[in-house]
Homo-oligomer: A and B are copies of this chain.
Amino acid sequence: MEVLTPKNSKGKRAKPVASSSAIERGDKAPHEHNTSLEDFVQFRSRLNVEILNEGNLVINRFFALDTRTYEAGKLDVKTKELLGLVASLVLRCDDCVTYHLTRCAEERVTRPEIFECLSVGLVVGGSIVIPHLRRAVERWSSLERVAR
């Protein structure tokens, strides 16, 4: 699972957080959309490293398998990312939605395509999906602004 570095990160890679105190580091974990995209990417990157360094075979293989799932095969990468997006939306995982939106942006999915994909998730998953739809649209608009 490679480190996700979306285009809005101003070229700065997520720095090691060595400067922050141990207490601060351990006690605050950015939650989903309630943080900036940059903080999300940094937290995600730092924890992925910590998890993989633990050396649990099952977890590490799962992470590798997860990355491979979205590689081009009979279906192209764009279609697979849309599949990941709609699955994340109906399961109502904001972080997963953010990840796949970022990947969709990299794959040049257009705004109307994103909305059609989200509309499928909305109808399948129902009104309970709406709060996640709002945060998804907010994220997408943010990604668009950064790309300009």
Q: Quick one: closest B residue to A43, CB to CB? A: B134
A99-140 interface bits toward B, Cβ cutoff 8 Å, 1 = contact, 0 = none:
000000000001111011111111111111111011101110
User: Min CB distance, A55 to chain B, in Å?
Assistant: 9
A74 in contact (CB, < 8 A): yes
- Chain B contacts of A82 at CB under 8 A? 75, 79, 83
Known: A56-B119, A69-B120. 16 other contacts (CB 8 A): A26-B138, A26-B141, A27-B38, A47-B137, A51-B134, A70-B120, A74-B112, A74-B116, A79-B82, A83-B117, A86-B87, A122-B126, A123-B127, A124-B128, A125-B125, A125-B126
